[in-house]
A and B are shown apart, each in its own frame.
Chain A
Amino acid sequence: MNRIICCNNRIFATKAGSNVYRLRIPWRPLSNDAAPLLSSQNAGNPEKESEAKQYDIAIVGGGMVGLALACSLASRPLTRHLNVAIIDSNPALGRKHFIKKEDLPDPRVSTITPATISFFKDIGAWQFVEQHRHAYFDKMQVWDYTGLSYAKYNARDADKEVLGCVVENKVLLSSLLSRVQETDLPKKIYPSRLNSMSILPNSSSSEVDSTLSMTALFTHGRLAKLELEDGNSLYAKLVVGADGGKSRVRELAGFRTTGWNYSQNAIICTVEHDVENHCAWQRFLPSGPLALLPIGDKFSNIVWTMSPKESSEFKSITEDNFLKAVNRALDYGYGPHPTPSILGSSDLFSWLKGGISKSANDCFEIPPKVIKLASERMAFPLSLRHANDYASKRVALIGDAAHTVHPLAGQGVNLGFGDASTLSSVISEGIAVGADIGEVSLLKKYEADRKPANVMMMAVLDGFQKAYSVDFGPLNILRAAAFHGAHHISPLKKSIISYASGETRLPLFA
């Protein structure tokens, strides 16, 4: 099985076209071991074969990023007529409203940057998000266990109203689904999973009037063929892999990835306070950062990164003990509170251009106490993974399928939404010049736009993760100095806020 995938790695990982002719490896359908079972099923149902439909785009994975791509295509004049198939076995996609107002907040949340908020407004999905629970925040405080320094960010430092918005993933999903159902984009949701995918190299037919059947088009490399677990088949000009970190499309198409596992797990849960929380708090502890994000209605979301051993421990202790541990970690645990006098006051930086930021004089605050646990605690391992290419013939990867990052800056899904936005604009440009949307040269434009930005963000996040995983005196002071600088040097703070908000593509180069 591995050998087949390796052979096909070479076929699909190299540039489409000429190289394929050099390899005399006969193509083989890329499938898993269930394929023989499938073909016997199909042999018994010949009608199913002829029912195979043709789509312009098949989006494998109807999660937040996949649906965002569908909404974005529906909102552009040149792509709103494209025939789209969405393949996802999540039963929620078939239901109309799966969120009840009385539900407690789900622990799976995402921090949406202002750039993503404006993307959602462009595609018309933000109005649905506003109908459910969501929490804007305009303040952020970041400090660490050494107590040497802290940094407070305020949206007004960068002349903005908000730093971001925290929304539950199920709210985002249902908003995007409602929006896509509302548009007149020709779409069909296949409630199944992708089993196998085949794409053949380009070739010409030897006869002049060849039939234009889908099988003929597929044989000559003009369509990709997808086979689903429920026996359905479909053809598509372009297959978009939006199926998450363990992407099947990425595996079947033979994209190689680079990455490593962080030896850290993240525990997530929802907690309640007795006061409203409008600030995002993040404290870097020796084994990982602890983040407290407001969700709305006095609830907050906790993302606590720690070693796997500690995470299984914290998952199994009683609720009370867990809450005590959280409060301790946010307050006096692990180290002292930062006091302003240790590294000098803001006068030190007043000679720098740009003056002092408005929040530089804000004092260190202790986060609100956590009084109740409002959901179960979930833990999942963290890793960094990046596909070496995002596009090959008739296949493009977006979202976590292309890149997974550390959650420490809440950027992951925002990168995915950026991918969806760029891919839909590239497809629109392709249609404007009458191109075949599965052409590699067109899809590579998407890759050339997103890869550098994503890689840069991943490098920054990875850098933070590594910088904070070492407890070493001089390094601690260096980190504290960095905090101090970020807190007091106004242009730097503005730059950081701008980059984290998704407005600039490169840090520090405004």
Chain B
Amino acid sequence: MASSMFLAQRRWFLSLPRNLSNARFFSALPSEHPVSVSGPQNNVGPESNKFEKASSAPSSLKEPELAKWDSEGPFKPLHKMNPTRLAFLRSTLCRHFRKDPLSARPFEGLRFIDVGCGGGILSEPLARMGATVTGIDAIEKNIKIARLHANLDPTTSTIEYCCTTAEKLVEEQRKFDAVIALEVIEHVADAAEFCKSLSALTAHEGATVVSTINRSMRSYATAIVAAEYLLQWLPKGTHQWSSFLTPEELTMILKRAGVDVKEMAGFVYNPLTGRWSLSDDISVNFIAYGTKEK
């Protein structure tokens, strides 16, 4: 066992970091990563992976469905990152749609879609900011949880949740002013096709926002080794380092899909304060905002 791991490491050192195919270490759970883009078994959100693990792990929680919404529970890192992602969305989208950033509900009248919404942790704050939100996820259970949670607040009960995929919505010819897919693209098999769907869903002069994890030395150390193995923030195997995209690659496939990336920012975690913040450092988590010209 040890010797095979050692051999795997040697192979990694020989191949370039940008090699998309091979470096699959610690691929402990092959069944969790199906290759097709469409289909009900697709894991389009990290939340869905975590959810499966959370329900199977012995839990002292009485209502496991609410584990996703428990800000101190297994989804704590996501809850902690959420305000930072929302701050970026608010600032770029207010500027894009020329809305007053000092208004409490700046996105009034705009249609947003949250692709891979999971339990709705992003959809609800966007609805509170005034947007007409549609949340989609390929896992029915996530949609159920999201609906139950959102129904309990008059401002979020108007969110439309559907258990579907981006491709299906493209077929239905739906259009949205802003298409937001955060922490999703690293879980799909064909990133280029996914970006084409995102672009097709974006209305004319709309915005597309994608966030993911960079494929770099640092992200391997933090997002895989630290997050999955040392700190155990995420279940092992949540992410495949080889399927991470670098900012350049993401920009390129978005450009090919018709979306011009205008701004990019990174999320940085400060272990001393336990807080995430926006920064210019895109070496681990980064978010890209692009516009669709035509």
| Chain A residues at the B interface, C-beta cutoff of 8 Å | 15-18, 21-22, 77-79, 81, 202-206, 208-210, 212, 216-217, 220, 222, 429, 431-436, 439-441
- A205 surroundings in chain B (CB, below 8 A): 148, 151-152
Asked if B71 is at the interface (CB within 8 A of a chain A CB), the reply is yes
- A216 surroundings in chain B (CB, below 8 A): 152
Cβ-defined contact, A18 with B61, below 8 A:
yes
Closest 4 CB pairs of A and B: A434-B125, A21-B62, A434-B128, A433-B86
Contact of B104 among A78, A204, A212 (CB under 8 A): A78
A204 to B86, CA, bound (A): 24
A84 to B287, CA, bound (A): 37
- B73 surroundings in chain A (CB, below 8 A): 17-18
Asked if B160 is at the interface (CB within 8 A of a chain A CB), the reply is no
Contact of A432 among B70, B82, B87, B126 (CB under 8 A): B87
- B107 to chain A: closest residue by CB: A434
A209 to B151, CA, bound (A): 7
- B102 surroundings in chain A (CB, below 8 A): 77-78
A205 to B65, CA, bound (A): 12
* Candidate in B80, B87, B125, B126 with the most chain A CB atoms within 10 angstroms: B125
Complex A-B: 16 CB contacts under 8 Å? A17-B71, A17-B72, A21-B61, A22-B60, A77-B103, A78-B102, A202-B66, A205-B151, A210-B152, A217-B153, A433-B82, A434-B125, A434-B126, A434-B127, A435-B125, A440-B71
**For chains A and B in complex, what number of residue pairs have CB atoms within 8 angstroms?**
85
Asked if B69 is at the interface (CB within 8 A of a chain A CB), the reply is yes
Within 8 A of A (CB), among B120-177: 124-129, 145, 147-149, 151-154, 157
A202 to B69, CA, bound (A): 10
Contacts A209-B151, A434-B126 given; does A204 touch B63 at CB 8 Å: yes
Task: Classify chain B: how many residues form its interface, as a range.
Answer: 35 or more
Asked if B33 is at the interface (CB within 8 A of a chain A CB), the reply is no
Contact with A along B227-246 (1 / 0, CB 8 A): 00000000000000000000
Asked if B77 is at the interface (CB within 8 A of a chain A CB), the reply is no
Cβ-defined contact, B61 with A436, below 8 A:
no
- B64 to chain A: closest residue by CB: A21
- A21 to chain B: closest residue by CB: B62
Cβ-defined contact, A222 with B148, below 8 A:
no
A248 to B69, CA, bound (A): 30
Asked if B90 is at the interface (CB within 8 A of a chain A CB), the reply is yes
Cβ-defined contact, A434 with B153, below 8 A:
no
A432 to B82, CA, bound (A): 12
- A22 surroundings in chain B (CB, below 8 A): 60, 62
Within 8 A of A (CB), among B186-211: none
Given A205-B151, A429-B83, 20 other A-B residues pairs in contact with their CB atoms under 8 A: A15-B72, A18-B72, A21-B60, A22-B62, A77-B102, A77-B104, A204-B65, A206-B148, A208-B148, A209-B151, A210-B151, A212-B152, A212-B154, A222-B153, A431-B104, A434-B128, A435-B128, A436-B128, A439-B71, A440-B71
